[in-house]
Structure 1
Amino acid sequence: MNMSFSDPRTIGPRIRMMMPQLTPLEGRVVEMILGRRDFDETTALKSVAEDAGVSEAMLVKIAKKLGFSGFKDFRAGIADYNRLPTADLHQELSPDDSGAQIAQKVFRTSIHALEETLSILDPEAFERAADLIFAARQRDLYGIGGSAQIARDVAHKFLRIGVRTSVFDDAHMMLMSAALLTEGDVAIAFSHSGQTTAVLEPLELARKRGARTIALTNYATSPIAEIADVVLCSTAQGSPLLGENAAARVAQLIILDAVFAAVAQRDLKAAERNLAATMGAVKTKRRNT
């Protein structure tokens, strides 16, 4: 089934989200095309095939795998995407960059990730995630490595308004947590790739136990997205030095900031009351100047 690409802002993010469905060779071809700033409606199929070292038939196949009707449709979509004002925000780091240039490129990459993540945000999934978190009896958060740090940040935010969560970053502890969840509980899994088995397994178990499941990932077609009740997607372009995780982490934090605000809105009086209480509890820990 062809995917709708009516909004040019979503073209780059949606293509990147579908990259796990491609073979390594197909993925390299798509990365090459996305990296070409001169790619437009006049770019010939033959020249792209020659540059990529693949057949014209393979390019057509890749375009259809990505949800386009064919190469012409794919080419038009990429051309529209390249003309966006934000398209030039993402720039690769160079060994010759000054400190100011490095800072500028890193900031612009994060801004680009935020713009594109907002363009693909599913409003229905966002609202559903907020509803599930607000109504849950128990809220368990799962993540490994950098994803665990995002989970801890989220837990800190929610605690401030009296929404209690538990964070698990150990494979055994996550499975033990999931084994105790039931209907009325929610498990929230954080995985950039969506393929981390240490996070996938407890999320599957939590769902079998009757808990609702939420996944935050960079890839809408990843294994974690297939087993979650609600999927929230970030998107970010990678770079040789920073990878995708740096900018995607910023986007994921902002997604959860928005979810936090939506959860607080569901009982604003209680949120304000609890926020005042938690702020007052740590007030004495600040040194007066």
Structure 2
Amino acid sequence: MTAPLVQQISDALPHLSRAEQRVARHVLAHPEQVVDSTLAAVAAASEVSEPTVIRFCASMGLSGFQDFRRRMTQFLALGVPATHSAIESDDSVTTVTGKIFDHTISSLGHTRQTIDAAAIEEALGAILAASSLHFYGMGASSTIAFDAAQKAPLFNKPCNALADGHQQFIEAASAQPDELFFLISYTGRTPELLRVAEEVAANGARSVAITGSEPSPLAETANIVIRTPTLENTDLYTPTISRIAGLVVIDILATSAAMHGGPDRLDRLTEMKAKLAGLRSAGAAQAGEDAVREDG
């Protein structure tokens, strides 16, 4: 499935020339404005020459500026709001709030439309067959890994999460064929994680890549690729939607794994939840009693 033009621009931005990057940033920040602009107007707003805008269009695989406007019009017709634009320095708190909510909702909707259900199904099968699960991510992706490990009762497997590249490599170097490794990177190009992916493969273990980019070095190395494309561009002041999309994928996998455990497993999970609720209630009651004694 071909990615929307805005997603293509976001993915390509780090690889463009500096002048073309100025065009890309202007387009990403003002998608509705550029479809009604002339070539000269886009060049002036981007502070580049008109030939640079033409080169930018060619870098995106487009035949010219008119082809670019047509593709951008098609993208906006899908109902993605202009709040994809970057947060401006003079935006009010109310404006920032609206932009982040609108951008999050529209971007998750895009991810939902493009995610590969077959890849989810394949990853679930690998989970059910594995002896243990390892979740690796770095930076913002590490929060996804730790959230997954916290869901070990749902997976009903030993789970661990690591954010340190050296520790990840050590575990990968001793990987067993029946272990399953989740490698989480939105760009799919984190050098440390790529070395881990290669080591996992060298030891005969399987890996699942959760990434927003395909093709990418990580996607090429992993056995299963769950692509979570968003409208996020990490070079702009946009919300970290890629992390939220990754968390949703983990929820899907964990919930699906729990449902495949059978009625007995679901009953045990329900009992666990009830006990946890009781523990919280007891803690709250104790806190209230302590507060009364302090006031007295």
State the match for 1:146 in structure 2. 140
**Alpha-carbon deviation of 1:217?**
2.4
Indicate yes or no: 2:123 matched with 1:129: yes
State the match for 1:89 in structure 2. 83
Q: TM-score, normalised by structure 2?
A: 0.79
Q: TM-score, normalised by structure 1?
A: 0.81
Between 1:211-220 and 1:278-287, the stretch displaced more is 278-287
Indicate yes or no: 2:40 matched with 1:39: no
State the match for 1:248 in structure 2. 242
Q: Distance in 1 between matches of 2:218 and 2:184?
A: 9
Q: Distance in 2 between matches of 1:275 and 1:177?
A: 29
State the match for 2:183 in structure 1. 189
**Alpha-carbon deviation of 1:153?**
0.7
- Over the aligned positions, Cα root-mean-square deviation in angstroms equals 3.0
Q: Distance in 2 between matches of 1:122 and 1:21?
A: 26
Q: How does 1:80-229 map to 2 (within 5 A)?
A: 80-229=74-223
Q: Deviations over 1:66-110 (max 9, x none)?
A: 344554333211112234433223354345544443332222222
Specify the SS of the correspondent of 1:16. helix
Q: Is the radius of gyration larger for structure 1 or structure 2?
A: 2
Q: Deviations over 1:234-271 (max 9, x none)?
A: 31334778455x22212221122223233334344354
Structure 2: 5+ residue runs without aligned partners? 286-296
The alignment-based identity, stated in percent, is 26
Indicate yes or no: 2:252 matched with 1:262: no
Q: Distance in 2 between matches of 1:207 and 1:65?
A: 34
Specify the SS of the correspondent of 2:197. helix
Identify the match of residue 229 of structure 2 among 234, 252, 256: 234
* 8 Å contact kept, 1:20–1:219: no
Q: Distance in 2 between matches of 1:90 and 1:250?
A: 16
* 8 Å contact kept, 2:152–2:158: yes
* 8 Å contact kept, 2:188–2:213: yes
Q: Distance in 1 between matches of 2:236 and 2:57?
A: 28
**Alpha-carbon deviation of 1:15?**
3.5
Q: Distance in 1 between matches of 2:212 and 2:251?
A: 17
Q: Which structure exhibits the higher relative contact order, with contacts defined as CA atoms closer than 8 Å and separated by 6 or more residues?
A: 1
Identify the match of residue 287 of structure 1 among 257, 265, 281: 281
Specify the SS of the correspondent of 1:17. helix
**Alpha-carbon deviation of 1:205?**
0.6
CA 1:50/1:91 → structure 2, altered by over 3 Å: closer, same or farther? closer
* 8 Å contact kept, 2:154–2:258: no
Between 1:220-229 and 1:205-214, the stretch displaced more is 220-229
Matched residue type, 1:233: T
**Alpha-carbon deviation of 1:141?**
0.9
Specify the SS of the correspondent of 1:163. coil
CA 1:206/1:194 → structure 2, altered by over 3 Å: closer, same or farther? same
CA 1:93/1:269 → structure 2, altered by over 3 Å: closer, same or farther? same
Aligned residues: 280
* 8 Å contact kept, 1:155–1:166: yes
